[in-house]
């Protein structure tokens, strides 16, 4: 009985601390997301499980793409083959930046869907601005 109480306490703590992201219908995830600070990075999420990410850096388009999966239990999206492109921009060429996984929590505010970049940065999130899955704009 004590084990169940401890498990409940741990789960309640994790939920109250924002450990989990918000759950949304997977069908609502595809669309265009724009970072709200630092240069307006653009992330296009497609319903076929792929994504395209780009930003403009001194007149040069930096980009990468890969696949994504949705973990509804955790309220997270996992982007594979991902790089934020300018984390080590002193190299001057994003093709040399390491790529990996970006696992982001989903947060919803009213009807807005947000992918959290960093919870400790004001407006440190990608905001869904377009639900059209077929658009590819620069």
pLDDT tier for residue 13 given thresholds of 50, 70 and 90: very low
DSSP 24: -
pLDDT digits (tens, 9 = 90+) for 79-133: 999 987 765 555 455 555 567 889 999 999 888 999 998 776 767 888 899 876 5
Integer Cα distance of 104 and 89 in angstroms: 22
In the chain, the percentage of residues whose pLDDT exceeds 70 is: 68
Q: Which CATH number fits domain 2-130: 3.30.1280.10, 3.40.50.2300, 2.40.128.280, 2.120.10.90?
A: 2.40.128.280
Domain chopping of the chain, boundaries: 2-130
Q: Is the model's pLDDT at 27 over the cut of 60?
A: yes
**In this predicted structure, what is the pLDDT of residue 20?**
75
Integer Cα distance of 97 and 83 in angstroms: 7
Query: Residue 117 in contact with residue 35, Cβ under 8 Å?
Result: yes
Integer Cα distance of 36 and 27 in angstroms: 23
pLDDT digits (tens, 9 = 90+) for 57-87: 788 888 889 999 999 999 999 999 998 776 5
Both tokens of 13, joined, read 């703590």
């Amino acid at each position: 009985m004590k084990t169940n109480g401890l498990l409940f306490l741990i789960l309640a703590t994790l939920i109250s601390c924002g450990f989990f992201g918000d759950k949304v219908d997977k069908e609502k995830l595809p669309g265009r997301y724009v970072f709200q600070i630092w240069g307006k990075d653009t992330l296009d999420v497609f319903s076929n499980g792929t994504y395209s990410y780009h930003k403009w850096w001194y007149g040069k388009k930096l980009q990468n793409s890969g696949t994504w999966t949705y973990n509804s239990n955790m309220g997270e999206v996992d982007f594979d083959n991902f790089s934020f492109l300018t984390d080590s921009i002193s190299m001057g060429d994003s093709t040399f930046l390491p790529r990996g996984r970006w696992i982001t929590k989903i947060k919803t505010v009213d009807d807005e869907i947000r992918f959290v970049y960093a919870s400790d940065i004001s407006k440190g999130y990608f905001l869904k601005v377009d639900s059209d899955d077929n658009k590819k704009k620069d």
